[in-house]
Amino acid sequence: MAVAEGGVKPGKASFLYDARIRAIIYQVVMAGAVVIFFAWLTMNTLDNLEARGIASGFEFLNHPAGFGVPFSLIEYSEASPYKTVFILGVLNTLFVSAVGVVLATLLGFTLGVMRLSRNYLISRIAAIYLETFRNIPLLLQILFWYIGVLQLMPQQRSSIIILENVYVNNRGIFYPALQAEPGFMAVPIAFLVGLVATIILRGWVKRRRDATGQGFPTIWVGLGLIFGLPILAALVTGLPWTWSIPRLQGFGFKGGSVIVPEFLALLLALTIYTAAFIGEIVRAGIQAVSHGQTEAAHALGIKPGTTLRLVIIPQAMRIIIPPLISQYLNLVKNSSLAPAIGYPEMTQVWAGTVLNQSGQALECIAMVMGTYCIISLSISGVMNWYNARVALVGR
Amino acid sequence: MSTQDYGVTEPVFTPKPDLPPPASTVGVIGWVRNNLVPDWFNGAMTVVALLALYMVIPPIVNWALFDAHFVGDSRKACKPNVQIVRDKVATKGIMPDGTTLDVETTADRIVVPEGVIPNVRWERKMVEGVVRAKGREYAKVVVEKDVIIEGACWVFVGVRFDQFIYGFYPKEERWRPTVVIGIGLLLIIYMLTDGMPHRGRVAMFLLIPFPVIAFFMFSGGVLGMPHVDNAKWGGLVLTIIISSVAITGALPLGVALALGRRSQMPIIRWFCVLVIEFFRSVPMITILFMALVVLPLFLPPGTTFDQLLRVLIGVTIFIAAYTAEVVRGGLQALPKGQYEAADALGLGYWKMMRLIILPQALRIMIPAIVSLFIGIFKDTTLVQIVGLNDLLTMVQLAVTDAQWIGLSKEGYFFCGFVFFVFCFSMSRYSMYLERKLHTGH
């Protein structure tokens, strides 16, 4: 008997010390804890909603919004339903992010290259820019541009004239707007045709160069196609547009178009802040390309400019792109600081105004977070696809 | 062995001393040639840069230093003490259609009263403006008038300085935050200095007992220190509190999440991946909104929760997701041999992590953690949106104060300067560490 018992006991002990079984136990406990936790949250939430008399659900999306916004890309009035407000917010987020990404990339690449310049002054100026704007909080920069600069602009009556018919005042930048007349569509169509023709041309030039070694002035012909065709189209159709020019009348400007200060402040701050990070990324990326590459290219007799374009930059891009895209992602997320100045993007209109008006806290926050998740995941999806494409093939 | 044995000695060849390098390659001239005008393109760039600097630097320096007001205790100290006389002037106005007509406008003239030393500078210049003519239309006019050169009013920052640092913390109790933050800073410097004994123990002290002591010092109610409600905490002190609590809480949580993400157990791994990726893909401000409006819904009815604590929980979890990714980087950077050696020694999972892996991984991660902390430090400014009084909010409150209206630039410059000093020194430290860690390669 004693022997049999002794034989069983170690078996029991080894059952608990079996790594696989322990893993299963851990996971069951973990899953159980998570389920219980979420059940507890749900119960509390239901209790709270009942106690406060809030009807959950998405019916409020069809109710009229009843408030105005300073900036909209779509048809919007105070009578529009909440769902229009949401679309408006998402579009405004995407719009300011898209413009910001383009400008920040241009400025950031310029700064990165300037930082590496052998010209002492240029390199120092870039370094000071990078260090300053990286180390000051974005929210402070947004407020500085909005309250410290744009709101201190003169009143409409004493606008600053920066160009013919372009006025700057505390209500934004007023500029002449293009008003299309019948036949105007020919111009953008010609532009698209030029673009497609250039892409086809580029393919043909590459094939011919690979086969025969003959060069072709692709850049000039391409520029000619992209810009020449629309100009030709405009001339042929007889300049089918008129300009609506801003005019000071009464207390404000009539006519023309306006860039509102809320948009301008957010865009400026996002561009300047993100460009500082992009500049650092570009600098690090170019420096990471081994010097032997430049020397080898020079030994082959390739000109310095061509070396940069065909040897250094393609290799640097492989290092630059992943952190660059994560900066783009940061820019999109940072556009959510707009509530501080009232630019009507997703967070401001939805997690701010609409949430307060409708009281549908859960639904509103979930929609905002969900949308940001979708945007973020799509951007990282693109990044992963690119990484897989340009990854060095191991040999 | 005398020299005579070798007969006549030939003169030994002694080379002439090297010629000095050409004057154009050394000294100031050489430096300028090499660094400013090595070719015509760079020369042109230098000229452009000098012009740009000339346009930007003097106005800023004049505004911030030479035309600025430093002494005083109220707005009056910054008001010009000269008299501005508004003269009526008859001039020609240009209508939008290009026609001219006679209009009357005003031009400022500055008069210095007897016995007064002017505290501002001004210049006479041509200024463009508009006047109303013919009812609703405006005519453009150009008049010559005196314009005061604007200077910064640092008196404002001086008067509000205490509030910028301490928020609404009671005056006679302000030694408490000062002492806590001072000791904390000293301990951190001690912990980060190489070769000091017991650094690990200091780190443990900072991580666990110190926050508790700090909390009681801030909040009071013990040892005869009066209680200070946390709604009164503010200014730079609150910025430091939020960012320190967030990083202290986020480190252990982040390590746990990172270990979970690398775990072999699928449920734990997927849970950690989900948490990390969710918090990384939403902006921090939505987390703050959630802590503000949704968290009360999640808790049993009747639970009240103070604002600061809610924000701290939200920020800590948010930062933990980023910390987890930093830790994962550190864990992946360790050579696989370390894991295998620990396994070979027969160490279990926790012993392996505690004794072999984490000490090494954490050391490689310090630069990344410092960068993360810089990010948190800047991001604490967002708590303004949920109504806490951090440094930026105190500045905002001050610039919207009726007495100091229009001085937002001074406030923002000061606030930016404080953030810059903190973040820049931390980023230099992180770069220094990175260089130090790279000596092995």
* CB within 8 Å: A131 and B424: yes
Instruction: Name the minimum distance, in Å, from the CA of B127 to any CA of chain A.
Output: 11
In chain A, whose CA is at the least distance from the CA of B409? Answer: A148
Tokens matching residue B277: 């990726």
Residues of A in contact with B378 (CB under 8 A): 135-138
Mean pLDDT of B174-199: 83
Give the pLDDT band (50/70/90) at residue B316.
Answer: very high
Please tell me the pTM assigned to this model: 0.85
Mean pLDDT of A112-118: 87
The mean-pLDDT minimum among A118-122, A164-168, B184-188 falls in: A164-168
Instruction: Name the minimum distance, in Å, from the CA of B299 to any CA of chain A.
Output: 6
State the Cα–Cα distance between residues A104 and A97, nearest whole angstrom.
Answer: 10
Residue A126 has pLDDT above 70, yes or no: yes
For domain A82-176+245-390, give the fold: MetI-like fold (1.10.3720)
Handedness of CA B66, B70, B75, B81 (dihedral sign): negative
Name the residue among B136, B415, B416 with its Cβ closest to that of A249: B136
**Probe site for chain B from A29, A132, A135 (most B CB atoms < 10 A):** A135
Instruction: Name the minimum distance, in Å, from the CA of B283 to any CA of chain A.
Output: 5
| Distance in angstroms between the alpha carbons of the first and the last residue of chain B | 55
State the Cα–Cα distance between residues B164 and A313, nearest whole angstrom.
Answer: 46
Mean pLDDT of B204-223: 80
Mean pLDDT of B119-146: 78
Name the residue among B280, B284, B427 with its Cβ closest to that of A135: B427
For domain B155-169+228-440, give the fold: MetI-like fold (1.10.3720)
Domain layout of chain B by residue ranges:
23-66, 80-151, 155-169+228-440
Instruction: Name the minimum distance, in Å, from the CA of A114 to any CA of chain B.
Output: 10
Residue A299 has pLDDT above 90, yes or no: yes
State the Cα–Cα distance between residues A107 and A101, nearest whole angstrom.
Answer: 10
In chain A, whose CA is at the least distance from the CA of B421? Answer: A135
Tokens matching residue B342: 């620990």
* φ, ψ of residue A168 in degrees (nearest 5): -115, 130
Residue B87 has pLDDT above 60, yes or no: yes
* CB within 8 Å: A48 and B297: yes
Instruction: Name the minimum distance, in Å, from the CA of A286 to any CA of chain B.
Output: 19
Q: Helix B209-219 and helix B199-207: axis angle, to 10°?
A: 50
Q: What is the pLDDT of residue A281?
A: 93
Name the residue among B38, B268, B286 with its Cβ closest to that of A26: B268
State the Cα–Cα distance between residues B401 and A103, nearest whole angstrom.
Answer: 35
Chains A, B: CB pairs < 8 Å: 167
- A66/B6: higher pLDDT: A66
* CB within 8 Å: A27 and B46: no
Name the residue among B42, B290, B399 with its Cβ closest to that of A365: B290
Instruction: Name the minimum distance, in Å, from the CA of A222 to any CA of chain B.
Output: 27
Q: What is the pLDDT of residue A2?
A: 45
**Is B288 within 8 Å of B385 (Cβ atoms)?**
yes
Residues of B in contact with A126 (CB under 8 A): none
State the Cα–Cα distance between residues A211 and A198, nearest whole angstrom.
Answer: 20
Name the residue among B264, B281, B374 with its Cβ closest to that of A372: B281
Using DSSP bridges, classify how beta strands A247-249 and A257-259 pair: parallel, antiparallel or unpaired.
Answer: unpaired
State the Cα–Cα distance between residues B260 and B272, nearest whole angstrom.
Answer: 6
Q: What is the pLDDT of residue A14?
A: 64
Burial class (CB in 10 A: 0-12, 13-18, 19+), A110: middle
Helix (H, G, I), strand (E, B) or coil at A342: coil
Q: What is the pLDDT of residue A63?
A: 81
Tokens matching residue A121: 């002054």
CA A390 distance to own-chain centroid: 22
Element (H, E) at A180: strand A177-180
A214-245 pLDDT, tens per residue? 878 888 888 888 888 888 888 887 777 777 78
The mean-pLDDT minimum among A12-16, A21-25, B386-390 falls in: A12-16
Residue B79 has pLDDT above 90, yes or no: no
Residue B224 has pLDDT above 80, yes or no: no
Mean pLDDT of A319-340: 90
User: How many Cα atoms are found within 13 Å in the side-chain-facing hemisphere of A280?
Assistant: 16
State the Cα–Cα distance between residues B415 and B395, nearest whole angstrom.
Answer: 7
Tell me if chain B has a CB within 8 Å of the CB of A270: no
Residue A3 has pLDDT above 90, yes or no: no
Burial class (CB in 10 A: 0-12, 13-18, 19+), B247: buried
Give the pLDDT band (50/70/90) at residue B228.
Answer: confident
Q: Which residue type sits at A136?
A: I
Name the residue among A118, A152, A248 with its Cβ closest to that of B35: A118
* CB within 8 Å: B265 and A23: yes
* CB within 8 Å: B408 and A372: no
State the Cα–Cα distance between residues A50 and A48, nearest whole angstrom.
Answer: 5
Q: What is the pLDDT of residue A268?
A: 94
CA A155 distance to own-chain centroid: 32
Give the pLDDT band (50/70/90) at residue B220.
Answer: confident
Burial class (CB in 10 A: 0-12, 13-18, 19+), A13: exposed
State the Cα–Cα distance between residues A199 and A203, nearest whole angstrom.
Answer: 6
* CB within 8 Å: A135 and B419: yes
**Is B46 within 8 Å of A122 (Cβ atoms)?**
yes
Name the residue among B266, B293, B379 with its Cβ closest to that of A361: B293
| Distances in whole angstroms, Cα of residue A254 to Cα of each of A164, A165, A168, A246, B53 | 16, 12, 14, 5, 38
Extended strands (E) in B73-121 = 83-94, 100-111
A7-11, A52-56, B238-242 — most confident range: B238-242
In chain B, whose CA is at the least distance from the CA of A346? Answer: B286
Burial class (CB in 10 A: 0-12, 13-18, 19+), A312: middle
**Is B130 within 8 Å of B139 (Cβ atoms)?**
yes
Q: How many CB atoms lie within 10 A of CB B374?
A: 22
Q: Helix A313-334 and helix A261-288: axis angle, to 10°?
A: 150
Residues of A in contact with B415 (CB under 8 A): 140
Enumerate residues 8 to 47 of chain A having a beta carbon within 8 A of any beta carbon in chain B.
Answer: 23, 26-27, 30-31, 34, 41, 44-45, 47
For chain B, give the number of residues: 441
- A263/B172: higher pLDDT: A263
CA A67 distance to own-chain centroid: 27
State the Cα–Cα distance between residues B320 and B313, nearest whole angstrom.
Answer: 11
| Distance in angstroms between the alpha carbons of the first and the last residue of chain A | 65
Tokens matching residue A198: 């250039």
Residues of B in contact with A31 (CB under 8 A): 267
State the Cα–Cα distance between residues B238 and B230, nearest whole angstrom.
Answer: 10
Residue A271 has pLDDT above 70, yes or no: yes
- The residues with which B106 forms a beta bridge, in sequence order, are B88
Domain layout of chain A by residue ranges:
2-52, 82-176+245-390
Residues of A in contact with B282 (CB under 8 A): 333, 369, 372-373, 376
Name the residue among B96, B271, B286 with its Cβ closest to that of A369: B286
In chain B, whose CA is at the least distance from the CA of A138? Answer: B378
Tell me if chain B has a CB within 8 Å of the CB of A376: yes
> C-alpha angle with apex A276: B154 to A260, nearest 5 degrees?
70
Burial class (CB in 10 A: 0-12, 13-18, 19+), A117: middle
Mean pLDDT of B113-118: 79
Residues of A in contact with B52 (CB under 8 A): 125
A159-184 pLDDT, tens per residue? 777 777 788 888 888 888 877 777 77
| Distances in whole angstroms, Cα of residue B49 to Cα of each of A105, A124, B44, B53, B210 | 21, 10, 9, 6, 50
State the Cα–Cα distance between residues A366 and A361, nearest whole angstrom.
Answer: 8
Residues of A in contact with B28 (CB under 8 A): none
Handedness of CA B114, B120, B123, B127 (dihedral sign): negative
Residues of B in contact with A139 (CB under 8 A): 381-382, 384, 392
Tell me if chain B has a CB within 8 Å of the CB of A170: no
**Is B412 within 8 Å of A140 (Cβ atoms)?**
yes
Instruction: Name the minimum distance, in Å, from the CA of B66 to any CA of chain A.
Output: 21
Enumerate residues 73 to 112 of chain A having a beta carbon within 8 A of any beta carbon in chain B.
Answer: none
Give the pLDDT band (50/70/90) at residue B439.
Answer: low
**Probe site for chain B from A140, A146, A157, A350 (most B CB atoms < 10 A):** A140
State the Cα–Cα distance between residues A248 and A244, nearest whole angstrom.
Answer: 13
Residues of A in contact with B283 (CB under 8 A): 333-334, 336, 347, 372
B242-301 pLDDT, tens per residue? 998 998 899 889 999 999 988 888 888 899 999 999 999 999 999 998 888 888 888 887
Helix (H, G, I), strand (E, B) or coil at B85: strand
Name the residue among A131, A157, A250 with its Cβ closest to that of B136: A250
Mean pLDDT of chain A: 84
Question: Measuring CA to CA, which residue among A242, A238, A235, A239 is closest to residue A176?
Answer: A242
pLDDT > 90 in chain A, percent: 25
The residue behind tokens 């894991």 is B339
Name the residue among B36, B271, B374 with its Cβ closest to that of A121: B36
* CB within 8 Å: B278 and A49: no
Residues of A in contact with B424 (CB under 8 A): 131, 135
Q: What is the pLDDT of residue A177?
A: 80
Instruction: Name the minimum distance, in Å, from the CA of B325 to any CA of chain A.
Output: 13
**Is B125 within 8 Å of B110 (Cβ atoms)?**
no
Using DSSP bridges, classify how beta strands B122-133 and B137-148 pair: parallel, antiparallel or unpaired.
Answer: antiparallel
Name the residue among A49, A140, A249 with its Cβ closest to that of B415: A140
Tell me if chain B has a CB within 8 Å of the CB of A65: no
CA B175 distance to own-chain centroid: 25
Name the residue among A48, A148, A250 with its Cβ closest to that of B301: A48
